[in-house]
Amino acid sequence: MIVERAYAHVDGEDPEEYPWSVPCVRQLLREGLRFTAPVTFLVGENGSGKSTLAEAFAEAFGLDSYGGSHDWKYASHRAKSALGERLRFDAAAGGRHMVRSWSARKGFFLRAETALDALDREGFTPDQRSHGEGFLAAFRGKFLKPGLYVMDEPEAALSFASCLELLGHIDQLTRAGGQIVCATHSPLLTALPGADIVEVGEHGMRRVTWEELELVDHWRRYLGDPQAYLRHIVG
């Protein structure tokens, strides 16, 4: 693993303003977040703060908030978010050199909405492929070395079969020494054996098992009886 804990200290900021008002951010400020496995999934509803956390983790490691790698020469020059500016990492035993040395850092921030553009700007152009196929080709071609890889809803462009292929790539990357933090809505991805799952919501952050995830329960209920949900929505 590369990092074992993320934390931030804030003085004088209005606790009612974003992002300090988000429950998971408040908990991060109080307690930090410890990483206990090579893959950490952040799961929660839209607006829960999981993408806010993912972006801040990427920024704190030196990855561009638009998406891209640490040494991207054509970065978007976005200013860091307020949380990303203040976030710090405690290094894991295997990641001390990478965390302490700016030039030694390796990784990539993959946002679903900007993934292919970011990869194209870095010289990897998966021509003549669909969005999902290009996404997987990029993962096969660039996500190979030890480093911190942050992903925000990578399942957005992928079919069921492609999500399974992505899990295989994630497993290979972690075996090669990579560490992954992934914000997701996918019950398929979060079923990865050995992954740490952090559920984000009004409660803040809490570790759960795959079976305890609210999204898993909803998908089971929906697939078992779609009309139990749809009767309240359509017609």
pTM above 0.85, yes or no: yes
pLDDT at 126: 53
Q: How far is CA 173 from CA 49, 140, 146, 180, 188, in A?
A: 26, 10, 7, 9, 18
Domain edges within the chain: 3-210
Q: How far is CA 138 from CA 71, 118, 142, 168, in A?
A: 17, 11, 6, 14
**What is the arithmetic mean of pLDDT over 196-216?**
96
Q: Give the CATH number of domain 3-210; options: 1.10.3470, 3.40.720, 3.40.50, 1.20.1530.
A: 3.40.50
What distance in Å separates the CA atoms of residue 96 and residue 174, rounded to the nearest whole number? 17
Per-residue model confidence as pLDDT tens digits over 80-103: 889 999 999 999 998 999 988 888
The fraction of the chain above a pLDDT of 90, given in percent, is 62
How many CA atoms, within 13 angstroms, populate the side-chain half-sphere of residue 186?
A: 25
Cβ-Cβ contacts under 8 Å for 45 (sequence gap 6 or more): 201
Per-residue model confidence as pLDDT tens digits over 39-49: 999 999 999 99
Written as one string, the DSSP assignment of 65-86 is TTSEETT-TT---PPPPHHHHH
